[in-house]
Amino acid sequence: MSSLDLLLGRPLASAEARADRIGIAAGIPIFGLDALSSAAYGPEAALTLLIPLGTLGARYSMLINAAISLLLLIVYFSYRQTIEAYPSGGGSYTVARQNLGTTAGLVAAAALMIDYILTVAVGISAGVGALVSAVPALQPRTLALCLLILLVVLLVNLRGVRETGTVFMVPTYMFVGCLLIVIAIGLVKTAASGGHPVAVLSPPRIAATTAVVSWWILLQAFASGCTAMTGVEAVSNGVKAFKETRHAQHTLTVIIGLLITLLLGIAYLVRAYNISATDPGRPGYDSVLSMLTSAVTGKGVFYYVAIASILAVLSLSANTAFADFPRLCRIIASDGYLPKAFAVTGRRLVFSHGIYVLAVLAGILLIAFRGVTDRLIPLYAVGAFLAFTFSQAGMVVHWYRTGGAGARRSMLVNGVGAVATGITVSVVLVAKFVQGAWMTMLLIPMLFLAMLSVNRYYRRVKQQIHCASPIELQGLRPPKVVIPVQSWSQISKDAVQFALTISRDVHAVHVAACEDDPAITPQEWEEFAAEPARRAGFPVPDLITIPSPYRFIILPIVHYVLQLERSHPDRLIAVLIPEMVERKWYEYLLHNQRGELLRLLLFAKGNRRVVTVTVPWYLDL
Amino acid sequence: MSSLDLLLGRPLASAEARADRIGIAAGIPIFGLDALSSAAYGPEAALTLLIPLGTLGARYSMLINAAISLLLLIVYFSYRQTIEAYPSGGGSYTVARQNLGTTAGLVAAAALMIDYILTVAVGISAGVGALVSAVPALQPRTLALCLLILLVVLLVNLRGVRETGTVFMVPTYMFVGCLLIVIAIGLVKTAASGGHPVAVLSPPRIAATTAVVSWWILLQAFASGCTAMTGVEAVSNGVKAFKETRHAQHTLTVIIGLLITLLLGIAYLVRAYNISATDPGRPGYDSVLSMLTSAVTGKGVFYYVAIASILAVLSLSANTAFADFPRLCRIIASDGYLPKAFAVTGRRLVFSHGIYVLAVLAGILLIAFRGVTDRLIPLYAVGAFLAFTFSQAGMVVHWYRTGGAGARRSMLVNGVGAVATGITVSVVLVAKFVQGAWMTMLLIPMLFLAMLSVNRYYRRVKQQIHCASPIELQGLRPPKVVIPVQSWSQISKDAVQFALTISRDVHAVHVAACEDDPAITPQEWEEFAAEPARRAGFPVPDLITIPSPYRFIILPIVHYVLQLERSHPDRLIAVLIPEMVERKWYEYLLHNQRGELLRLLLFAKGNRRVVTVTVPWYLDL
């Protein structure tokens, strides 16, 4: 068992793909982590913007969470229909492309891709941020912790879909379980006390009101809360990862149901317990969920278990992006708009290149922001809602085209979804434009244009190499062979022998550069190569000596080859490069790499009639 | 004119080597910068250790500088003789190796190489340190400034020996001139005032005596002052860079003469003006030369010119190492104890690889110590004195062997030198062992062992490729040709045509890996390749399809080739790899690099009977 097998698991055969598919229990952690973890930061993000409203904040928070839950419900019904209509994977890209045209599809894809990259960076850094605020001693290690988590998520995903589900099941279900318990106890206590429960540990007093309620503050809070909705798209892209289509639908139902329960439960209890957000930049900061849990249950063992599960789920929420981003890239690559490598199935039946690219880009973001990515938050949500809107609009066209019995009703559902998410994207854009949403609006068209040029490139290559004609053998002659020779050795002997077997037209080239190394002489050539060839009845190979006053070794050979090629327009030139093969990496340093350099230069300066032949010589030390 | 030409100058022909040699005026800055710059830190290093002695410090400083000057004089006479005896370059390595054996030579070389690397790092960081203490605003840029200077010295040296001399002439002569003027004025004032000159600006009062004079303190101060002697060896290694041997000797004479004048002059005036060193770590620190200059001339324009020249010379003192290290490596590489690359003469007739290696190693030291290399100072001087000792001892043996008229006298001179430097190396080692000299004593044998194994490796390679026999053509048959084919295209068509010109034994291999790409079918092969070959009277190439359940593409081909090679022990196998050549770097990302990977894997797993042929296909977009 190789170390690679140990790290990533044994390779999976293509035929095992079916067995590697998942059910609902594994689907929830894989495709739902991102959405569910939003419960930990969405309400908080909205509440933070409501701090200036003082005690009124908690009341409006309920309103905002209700609006977001309604939006979630609309999106849910839309995507349920989409999954049914596109059982082979119906992400925004596919739906928009098939119904609204390639441009719409690619724009939706670009928006979603950027969103996923941001999600990974922001998710991991949020988790580590929470951990660091719990254990301040870890502060200086923030970036290292972020990169460590990124590495873990990367490795787990490279092991394949099924294993990912298994690994992430425990933290996901623990997180959901803990929050549900908190909400249940809180509701019981609230009901028992007639709506005014006494906190086990009182939350800090709410700061004085410093602003009046305005549409702008509410919009800002709504836009921030909407970050809770990223990741909802994931299931519809991943339908093929499930054993059956309805498993995907059920998974989506459970995820959305849980998320709405959590959002509304938290919002209600925040109001009942009179909890307001605290400023994350100031000392004494405590997260809303932490305050809520300690108000409901006190700071016992349960509190710490709950907080630990929140930390775990936040930092692992990046996983949804890892599940969906490579699938999305794969579909686009199959259509020829991204490099082909994205469509290659890796050893564990995952699209490894997409996973690597996502990890590298997110890693760059994390390093650039030293693990604190707060400033990136306004950049996302735009992408997700843009993709939602395109997808819903596409579905409307889809139903219009298919027609039939339920088409009208379906059209209505998706139409409502399109309008709702369309309005939301405008709201988020307006509310967050200055803070960074403008950057997303620049990146999306850039990525879109890049995908277009990738496609143009592939189409032109395809045209050029297209061939429907058989080989032509008339007038074909063996190539002229050129062999660079420094001194007479076993290596050059092997090369000359090989050359004479493939052609009767062999030229050795020696560059005389006044170096210390021994050089071949015409007498040696006559004795070791020319004379034996003559005697055996072979055509005699000649030795050409090129002086090199500037001590260049490779360029004179390249020039000689190109000259030969020009003066024999009907012949192929095979340059035979004897190369020493080092068995150990450090041996590489002890030899010059002239052979390899010559090969690369011939590639760069040569043309279709210059072929390079590498004759390896293995050192046996 | 290419940008490379602009940066480094046009390439120089080997025939121009003679014209690129230097005279005395250029020799002094090139080979003397290191030694001369010692005047700026040697006396200070000794005085700093004498601070506890209070007013007595200046008196003993005179004694120590006198001892060092005597040592310099001894070493000077020894090296003068060495240059005469070894006009083609007689560094410690050459002299020790020829007279004391290879081990002694390599140990001396290792000691000297380590010393040079340290010199570059310490010299640059000392210069920048002085600059930063003059302009504290530059403090946060310390490392960047160090690396900038390293880059400048690197580029200047890559331009060639002559240019280096021209560039460094101005600061060197300005430095020497300024110090000589200070010393002259100081001496006149001292004489005029009967030995008790009045300082224009009084140096700070000397701190109270806190220690009594002890041998240990004096030894420490002497060992520190000895760092002034590194760099003296440089001229003897560089004899060949001079127009004539006597130019080298004269250069050495001038360098040593100037250095002794400066050392003694400074020591005398320090005593006359009652100057003591200040603690470099404390506020109010002022360098000895700065205090001396302001005491003698006040803080006018001259003061600032002098200080600027000191800064420049300190930071450029690294240049001597750049002049000598590559030459030393070159000589060792020619003997086969270092990688051959060190012996290659670059485009500007310098040994570029040695220059690069020195710059990289010094750069690593600078980065590791963030530009403050004080802790490295005790590590060096040991190396230089060890090399001196070996060199002198070697010369004693040399004279003993040659015999003749002046041999006895010469033997005496070098013998005195060997004993004096031998004693010094012990003193330095004892005095500085704990502070870091122990590390040098570990590094030297490590480098020595590395050079031995490089040599062993080269000797074994030489044995293996040695060949004094002619080519053997009996029973030679054309290779079996293997062509990997994915789908029928212009690329595969070209490849098959080429294969049929070099062999009558062609096999196409197709790996069926259930990927999206179109795959060749047996029918297509029959139509496009087999049938036309049959018709043209060529042997028919066959198509072998290998199933790949794990989607590996390259490994199945490698296994097929190796199997073919095993089952035909008398045949060569030529694997023909059609490769698309991208004209632009980003196109590289858009294709899989399977061709190149296959080639590398065949190299790694193959053997002498597996040859790879790259048939390039140029995209024409």
A482-525 residue pLDDT tens? 999 988 988 889 899 999 988 889 999 998 876 666 788 899 99
Is A458–B489 a contact, with Cβ atoms under 8 angstroms apart?
no
| Whole-number Å distance between alpha carbons of A590 and A577 | 19
CB contact (8 A) between residue B340 and residue A460: no
Q: Kindly state the average pLDDT of the residues B370-376.
A: 75
Do residue B478 and residue A470 have CB atoms under 8 angstroms apart? no
B318-334 and B161-192 are packed helices; what angle lies between their axes, rounded to 10 degrees? Answer: 140
pLDDT at A349 over 70: no
| Beta-bridge partners for B617 | B580
Binary contact (A536, B474; C-beta < 8 A) = yes
The alpha carbon of residue A334 is apart from the nearest alpha carbon of chain B, in Å, by: 8
Residues 6+ apart with CB under 8 A from B307: B134, B289, B290, B293
CATH superfamily of A21-460: Amino acid/polyamine transporter I (1.20.1740.10)
- Contacts by A278-283, CB closer than 8 A, 24 or more apart: A278/A204, A279/A48, A279/A51, A280/A48, A280/A374
Q: Domain boundaries in chain A?
A: 21-460, 480-618
B437 DSSP 8-state letter: I
Q: Is B463 within 8 Å of chain A by CB?
A: no
Q: Residue B448: what pLDDT?
A: 95
Q: What is the largest CA-CA distance in chain B?
A: 114
Q: Which residues of B271-306 are buried (b: 16+ CB within 10 A; e: fewer)?
A: bbbbbbbbeeeeeeebbbbbbbbbbbbeeeebbeeb
The residues, any chain, with a CB within 8 Å of residue B156's CB and separated by 6 or more, are B163, B164, B167, B168, B319
Q: Which residue of B has its CA nearest to A460?
A: B621
Q: What is the pLDDT of residues B324-338, one digit of tens each?
A: 888 889 889 889 999
Average pLDDT of the segment spanning B455-475: 88
Chain A residues closer than 8 Å to B529 by CB: 470-471
As a whole number of angstroms, the distance between CA A30 and CA A156 comes to 11
Helix (H, G, I), strand (E, B) or coil at A198: coil
Mean pLDDT of the region B413-442: 86
Residues in A touching B492 (Cβ below 8 Å)? 467
Q: Which residues have C-beta within 8 Å of that of residue A179, sequence separation ≥ 6?
A: A39, A262, A265, A266, A289, A306
Closest listed residue to residue B89, CA positions, set B337, B304, B306, B326: B326
- Among all residues of chain B, which has the CA nearest to that of A589? B339
What order of strands is seen across the sheet that includes strand A480-484? A542-547, A506-512, A480-484, A573-581, A610-618, B610-618, B573-581, B480-484, B506-512, B542-547
Are B471 and A478 a contacting pair at CB < 8 A?
no
Q: What percent of chain A has pLDDT over 90?
A: 24
Encoding tokens for residue A499?
């050359």
**Does A310 score more than 60 pLDDT?**
yes
CB contact under 8 A, A470 and B528: yes
- Which 3-state string (H, E, C) describes B507-571? EEEEEECCCCCCCCCHHHHHHHHHHHHHHCCCCCCEEEEEECCCCCCHHHHHHHHHHHHHHCCCC
Phi-psi region of B231 (alpha: psi -120 to 50; beta: other; left: phi over 0): left
Give SS3 for B406: coil
Helix (H) or strand (E) holding B39: helix B24-50
Question: What was the ipTM of the complex prediction?
Answer: 0.75
Q: What is the pLDDT at residue A560?
A: 93
Kindly tell me if the per-residue pLDDT of B372 is higher than 70.
Answer: yes
The CATH architecture assigned to B480-618 reads 3-Layer(aba) Sandwich (3.40)
Report B:320-359 residues touching A (Cβ under 8 A): 334, 339-341, 343-345, 347
What the block records as the tokens of A116 is 């996923």
Residue B1, pLDDT score? 45
**Which residue blocks in B226-317 are alpha helix, DSSP H?**
234-237, 245-272, 288-297, 301-316
* Contact across the interface for B460 and A514, Cβ inside 8 Å: no
From the CA of A512, how many Å to the nearest CA of chain B? 12
Q: What pLDDT shows up at residue B88?
A: 78
- Whether B574 has its CB under 8 Å from any CB of chain A: the answer is yes
Q: Which of B345, B533, B612 sits opposite A614 (nearest CB)?
A: B612
Q: Say if the Cβ atoms of B500 and A476 lie within 8 Å.
A: yes
Mutate to test the interface with B, among A344, A353, A465 (most CBs of B within 10 A): A465
One DSSP character per residue, A304-345 reads HHHHHHHHHHHHHTHHHHHHHHHHHHHHHHHTTSS-GGGG--
CB contact under 8 Å between B340 and A532, yes or no, is: no
Radius of gyration (C-alpha) of chain B in whole angstroms:
33
From A362-366, B127-131, B254-258, the region with the lowest mean pLDDT: B127-131
Q: Do A619 and B536 touch (CB under 8 A)?
A: no
Task: Check if the beta carbon of residue B108 is closer than 8 Å to that of residue B451.
Answer: no
> What's the confidence (pLDDT) of residue A509?
93
Average pLDDT over residues A231-255: 85
Q: Does A198 touch chain B (CB under 8 A)?
A: no
Q: Which residues of B310-341 are buried (b: 16+ CB within 10 A; e: fewer)?
A: bbbbbbbbbbbbbbbbbbbbbbbbebbbbbbb
pLDDT per residue over B43-52, tens digit each? 888 888 888 8
Look at residue B447 in the predicted model and tell me its pLDDT: 94
d(CA B54, CA A203): 66
Tell me which chain B residues have a C-beta less than 8 angstroms from the C-beta of A531: 470
Q: How is residue B232 written in tokens? A: 């003296």
d(CA A224, CA A92): 23
CATH superfamily of the domain spanning B33-460: Amino acid/polyamine transporter I (1.20.1740.10)
Minimum mean pLDDT range among A42-46, A283-287, B269-273, B303-307: A283-287
Q: Tell me the percentage of chain B whose pLDDT exceeds 70.
A: 92
Contact B471 A502 (CB under 8 A): no
Return the higher-pLDDT residue of A590 and A223: A223
Q: Could A497 and B473 be called an inter-chain contact, meaning their C-beta atoms sit closer than 8 Å?
A: yes
Cβ <8 Å between B470 and A532: yes
Query: Quick one: tokens of A254?
Result: 């459970």
Measure CB to CB from residue B477 to each of A12, A465, A501 and give the nearest one: A501
Are A471 and B620 inside 8 Å of each other by CB?
Answer: no
CA–CA distance, A323 with A318 (Å, rounded to integer): 9
Interface of A with B in 2-41 (CB under 8 A): 11-15
Lowest mean pLDDT among A429-443, B5-19, B236-250, B482-496: B5-19
Distance from CA of A326 to the nearest CA of B (A): 16
Task: Provide the terminal-to-terminal Cα distance of chain B, rounded to the nearest Å.
Answer: 28
Tell me the two tokens of residue B245: 């041997």
Distance of CA A100 to the CA centre of its chain: 25
Q: Taking residues A460-476, what's their average pLDDT?
A: 86
The residues near A244 (Cβ < 8 Å, ≥ 6 apart) are none
A207: buried, middle or exposed (CB in 10 Å: 19+, 13-18, 0-12)?
middle
CA-to-CA dists, residue B394 to A375, A411, B102, B111, angstroms: 68, 97, 11, 16
Q: For residue range A198-216, what is the model confidence (pLDDT) as tens digits?
A: 888 777 777 777 777 788 8
A498: closest CA of chain B, how far (Å): 8
Gap between the Cα atoms of A23 and A21, Å rounded:
7
